[in-house]
Structure 1
Amino acid sequence: MEQHTPRHRPSGQYAAADSRRAAIIDAALLFFAKAGYLNSSLAKIAEEAGTSATVITHHFGSKQRLLMAVLEAREERTVRTFGRLGPGSGGDSGDDVRALFREVLALASYNLTQPGLIQLYTKLSAEAGDPAHPAHTYFAERYERVARHLASALQRSADRGQLRAGIDPESIAREILAVSDGLQVQWAVTDGRLDFVGMYRAHLDRLTRALTVDGKGLDEPAGEEQRP
């Protein structure tokens, strides 16, 4: 039987395609952040990326799938930078509530270096309240996933004896998300004039003092844990 050698695209073409996709994602992020998803068009995104709407459709299929590619790219970037926050990752956060909150604050500070992403999330989170919005499921699942992760980390701190009795990890996790998102909205609408990091640090410090058995703040050495 005659054998056919598979035809592979040269690596240079892969690199060019990846570069083009990255340029399209960056342009889409810019327009989605400025105008929101609903008011952005493939034609405008294509113009910014130096390509055509046809090429965007070729790479992503639709504006909806392009939006998801933008959100997924942001998620991957965050995981690469702060993957150590994950349970079992062996990172600094471990079962220590102070280390966990310092990592949460570091992630928030990192996000400020990408103002377009904050603007994008601010606009999309409002638009995505509509169940028909293409990002509705993404945001619903993301909030649940992040809240679940924070609650799990807080529960480990409680099991270690760091937290006061009667603490509800899920409620605290939801509070952390609400404060973070609320400050992000205010930071965005004040064009970055709000001291987001300072205010978020102050909240997490107060929360640490209220939650912990030793009552110490975010940057104070922890006291001796009271193990059960």
Structure 2
Amino acid sequence: MAEYAKSARIRAGIIDACARVFKESGFHGSSMAQIARDAEISYTGLLHHFPRKEQLLTAVLDLEDQRRAAFLREHRTFAADADPVQVLRELSAMLLDRRTEPGLIQLTAVLVGEATSTAHPAHEHFVARFANIRSFLTRLFTRLHDEGRTSGALSPAEMAAVTIATIDGLQTQWLFTPAEIDTEKLVRGLLSVLVPELAQDADRGM
């Protein structure tokens, strides 16, 4: 048991170091030797836990997506009497909470940029991630649309795509000029346009 706990701590330290290295150099620009140095572990020790850099990438992406995946699993089929507006509030709050972790946002920005290439090992991961979030939001907006609670300017699928693009784009801008970009205010402003009853949230700064 003690040996297992020690191994888990070492693996966690390696993944943290890998995230730092990927954030600075990207996947293609980093090396296993560089990751080993940052993790303060021997190269042989690194290979014992992660023989290939692609395995490290998978571990980092899994860590980055844990909270988002847990939320989507919990709300994948929300009850008929659940208010989709409240679910939307919770989802946007969860996504926006990442702004307090600039390293995590920067890491994601670097990897997403690289992974647009179909040859990148994380390409399919991000294709699936965007598809899952887009599908979830589309179902939320569809229900709101069917209840007559959306502005009607865009289809539910279009509202989902615009919401994701706005959150990701604003977080990237926030990395460059955090004092000038109020991500929460701007996202709430967008949502209040798509779902008018959310205007009260934007007015209250909720």
Q: Which TM-score band applies after superposition, normalised by the shorter structure?
A: 0.7 to 0.9
1:67 pairs with 2:49: no
Residue 140 (structure 1) aligned to one of 102, 127, 149: 127
**Map of 2:109 onto structure 1:** 122
Q: What TM-score results when the alignment is normalised by the length of structure 1? A: 0.78
Shift of 1:118: 0.4
Q: Alpha-carbon deviations, 1:154-192, whole Å to 9, x = none?
A: 222233443356851111100101111111111122356
Whether contact under 8 Å (1:108, 1:197) holds in the other structure is no
Aligned to 1:102: 89
2:183 maps to 1:201? no
User: Paired residues, what number?
Assistant: 201
Which of 2, 5, 11 is matched with 1:15 structurally?
A: 5
RMSD, aligned α-carbons: 2.4
Amino acid at match of 2:168: D
Moved more, 141-150 or 102-111: 102-111
Q: 1:159 and 2:136 equivalent?
A: no
Give TM-score, length-normalised by structure 2: 0.86
The runs of 5 or more residues in structure 1 that have no matched partner are 1-10, 210-214, 221-228
Tell me the residue number matched to 1:217.
199
Q: Distance in 2 between matches of 1:109 and 1:72?
A: 19
Percent identity between matched residues is 35
Q: Post-superposition shift, 1:197?
A: 1.9
Structure 2 residue 109 is the aligned partner of structure 1 residue 131: no
SS in 2 for 1:33: helix
Instruction: Give how far 1:113 is off.
Output: 2.2
Distance in 2 (CA, whole Å) between partners of 1:73 and 1:168 is 33
Separation (CA, whole Å) in 1 of partners of 2:14 and 2:198: 47
For residues 153 and 183 of structure 2, the distance between their equivalents in structure 1, rounded to whole angstroms, comes to: 30
Report the Cα offset of residue 145 of structure 1. 1.0
Matches within 5 A, 1:176-195: 176-190=163-177, 194-195=181-182
> Match of 2:199, as an amino acid?
G
Contact 2:17–2:39 (Cα < 8 Å) also in 1: yes
Residue in 1 that maps onto 2:30: 40
Q: Distance in 1 between matches of 2:191 and 2:151?
A: 16
Q: What is the match of residue 77 of structure 2?
A: 88
Alpha-carbon shift at residue 36 of structure 1 (Å): 1.2
Q: Which runs of 4+ in 1 moved over 6 A?
A: none
5+ residue gaps in structure 2? Answer: none
Structure 1 or 2, whichever has the larger Rg, is 1
Q: Would you say 1:172 and 2:154 are equivalent positions? A: no
**Cα deviation, residue 77, structure 1:** 3.4
2: CA distance between counterparts of 1:189 and 1:216? 28
Which structure features the higher share of helix residues? Answer: 2
User: 1:7: which partner in 2?
Assistant: none
Structure 1 position 87, deviation (Å) = 2.4
